[in-house]
Amino acid sequence: ILALAAGLGLGILGHETGSAVLARVGEWIKPVGSMWVSALQLTVIPLVITHLLATISGAGAKSVGKLGVRTLVLFLAMLLAAGVFAIFLTPLFLSRLSLDPNTVATMSAATASARDSGTLAAAANNAPVSISDWLSRLLPTNLVEAGVRGDIFPLLLFAGFFALAVTRLPSERQLLLTNIFQSLADAMLQLVRWILIAAPIGVFALTYGLALKTGTSSGGILGAYIVIVYTIVSQYGVANLIICT
């Protein structure tokens, strides 16, 4: 939050004063924010897949079946709770927020440069498809291509079946692969910790560049966004605690 406030403050100062020095600083740190976001996105699929492999291969097929049912029920309950909170609370908060269309357009133009080249591909992947087409794509014909497209569900499905196959191996081979998967999962988790340690730097770079282009208009919108999200997530967290209990 301190990095967010500092980035907004200095960015607004640079926007209002037109300082050439602050503008040059914005150009220097722009790649830093982009690299931090890319690092976060880069670790998502490896982190989830390695933990899934380690969990299933180490638990065994029978344990995975029972755990999978409980996890599915818990996931659906939490997803329902999230949907309920988003549907009822978000419009209530947004109705009290007045946004200038020009400000929204300015912020949209300022953040457009932060979108990577995969945006169009992601939009194409999110296009409506029939149920038969969706089922036919559950198992990818090429894992690398699925990873490039960001199709995480088919990757998880393959990883789950692969981990179940590991549980059918002789005990010594299963133990060897389980240890490898667990080591990879631990290493990925450590990598994520390093990225999160750098969060203040990434947040400062992102908010500074945004405020430098939009000025004071960005502060009010980001402040309202933070308050709304924090309030909804806090209430949702209490609901999840009750559900898990």
Does the global pTM surpass 0.95?
Answer: no
Of 182, 179, 188, 143, residue with least CA distance to 161: 143
Rounded distance between C-alpha atoms, residue 46 and residue 157, angstroms? 14
Q: CA gyration radius for the chain?
A: 22
**Please, which contacts does 59-65 make with residues 24 or more away whose CB atoms are closer than 8 Å?**
60/167, 61/164, 61/167, 61/168, 64/164, 64/167
Rounded distance between C-alpha atoms, residue 126 and residue 155, angstroms? 16
What are the pLDDT tens digits along the chain (245 aa)? 899 889 888 888 888 888 888 888 888 988 998 899 999 888 888 998 999 899 888 876 566 667 767 777 877 787 787 777 778 877 777 776 666 666 666 666 655 554 544 444 444 455 566 677 666 666 777 777 777 777 787 888 888 888 888 888 888 888 999 999 999 999 999 999 999 999 999 999 988 888 888 777 766 677 777 777 777 777 666 666 665 66
Q: What is the DSSP string of 32-93?
A: HHHHHHHHHHHHHHHHHHHHHHHHHHHH-HHHHHHHHHHHHHHHHHHHHHHHHHHHHHHHHH
Of 163, 174, 136, residue with least CA distance to 68: 163
Report whether 8 contacts 218 (CB < 8 A): yes
